[in-house]
Amino acid sequence: MHDRPLIAVTTSELRRPEEVPARSEGEPPKVEVALATLYPEAIERAGGIPVIVPLLRPEAIEALLERVDGVCLPGGPDLQPSTYGEEPHPRLGPTEPRVDAVELALVRAADRRNLPILGICRGMQALNVARGGTLHQHLPDLVGTSLNHRQAEHGSVTTHAVETAPRSRVRRALGGPKLSVNSFHHQAVRTLGHELTATAWAEDGTIEAVEGPGSRLVLGVQWHAEGLAAHAPLFELLTAAAAGIGERVADIREARSLRRPAARRLAQAG
């Protein structure tokens, strides 16, 4: 275990040459992995060190997880329906089968090692599928459009409420019983994966958070917590669990505050 835990955060998007504009004096367009900077920034603010994970072979995933203390699965494109035994829906969005394979293998390897996991939006869905669950491929078919799960507003803006379960991790971390969240998805959990429990719901019944049992942190939220300052405690939960502190967010905040004076003295000395 590290003083500042190492958190593996996957790159769940690929950008192909035709999607990347050529820049004057720049390198020629090529396949790129992509990750919004909000994720590593949230992990670092919470006291962890983000380790950004590209596409890896299975044997490399095993080696990686021997060296990190926790896993963060970010948002991204739809999961390929074949990963949970279904045919594609006509409204299925872009998918990245290579990314799916890496993230699903990563979750299963993290489960074998009992590493803490935090999944965000697609990351929650990947967590669920990796554990044998399934997804609704297009929410409007199920719940209609009275609640917009794919907002046009910026990610720092909340657009709907979710209700959290009593005694759930998400309620302990963020308060409750209701939270205001942002929303950027058209898919959602249908059947729950192994040892996952729904712990938050939108007003239309859509599952908005899932958690694992016991003391190990396994948590997924359907909203983009990395874009909401008030939801930073979710990343603090992850880094606290990865550091072996446990689930008291106050503990890691105290540990971080104790490090700041020393850091300031070092900066002044330099």
pLDDT greater than 70 at residue 132: yes
What pLDDT score was predicted for residue 45? Answer: 97
Helix-helix angle 97-113:58-65, to 10 degrees: 40
**Token pair for residue 157?**
């803006």
What pLDDT score was predicted for residue 264? Answer: 35
- Assess whether 121 carries a catalytic annotation: yes
What pLDDT score was predicted for residue 32? Answer: 86
How many Å apart are CA 199 and CA 214, to the nearest integer?
Answer: 14
Q: What is the number of alpha carbons within 13 Å of residue 250 lying toward its C-beta?
A: 1
User: What number of other Cβ atoms are within 10 A of residue 51's Cβ?
Assistant: 19
* Of 133 and 28, more confident: 133
pLDDT greater than 80 at residue 21: no
Query: What residue type is assigned to position 185 of the chain?
Result: H
Q: How many helices (H) and strands (E) does the chain have?
A: 8, 13
- Assess whether 224 carries a catalytic annotation: yes
Mean pLDDT of the chain: 89
| Mean pLDDT of all residues in 185-194 | 97
Of the listed ranges 39-48, 241-250, 260-269, the one predicted with least confidence: 260-269
Please give the domain boundaries of the chain with CATH numbers for all domains.
6-269 (3.40.50.880)
How many Å apart are CA 120 and CA 186, to the nearest integer?
Answer: 14
Catalytic residue among 149, 160, 224, 231: 224
What pLDDT score was predicted for residue 255? Answer: 45
Strand pairing report for 218-221 and 70-73: unpaired
What pLDDT score was predicted for residue 16? Answer: 80
What pLDDT score was predicted for residue 247? Answer: 55
Q: Give the confidence band of 177 by pLDDT, cuts at 50, 70, 90.
A: very high
17 preceded by a cis bond (ω within 30 of 0):
no
Q: What is the DSSP string of 86-99?
A: -PPPTT---B-HHH
Q: Give the confidence band of 12 by pLDDT, cuts at 50, 70, 90.
A: confident
Q: Give the confidence band of 27 by pLDDT, cuts at 50, 70, 90.
A: confident
| Angle at the Cα of 67 from the Cα atoms of 11 and 75, rounded to 5 degrees | 20
Catalytic residue among 186, 226, 231, 236: 226
Catalytic residue among 121, 149, 160, 186: 121
- Assess whether 185 carries a catalytic annotation: no
Of the listed ranges 10-14, 117-121, 169-173, the one predicted with least confidence: 10-14
* Of 14 and 205, more confident: 205
What pLDDT score was predicted for residue 268? Answer: 36
What pLDDT score was predicted for residue 179? Answer: 97
Percent over 70 (pLDDT), the chain: 90
Residue 164's nearest CA partner among 149, 147, 180, 176 is: 176
What pLDDT score was predicted for residue 1? Answer: 54
Q: What is the pLDDT of residues 232-264, one digit of tens each?
A: 999 999 999 999 986 554 444 444 444 444 333
Q: Give the confidence band of 229 by pLDDT, cuts at 50, 70, 90.
A: very high
CA 250 to chain centre: 21
Q: What is the pLDDT of residues 53-111, one digit of tens each?
A: 999 987 899 999 999 999 999 999 999 999 999 999 999 999 999 999 999 999 999 99
72 sits in which H/E element: strand 70-73
Strand pairing report for 207-211 and 218-221: antiparallel
How many Å apart are CA 161 and CA 265, to the nearest integer?
Answer: 43
Residue 188's nearest CA partner among 204, 168, 175, 174 is: 204
How many Å apart are CA 270 and CA 267, to the nearest integer?
Answer: 5
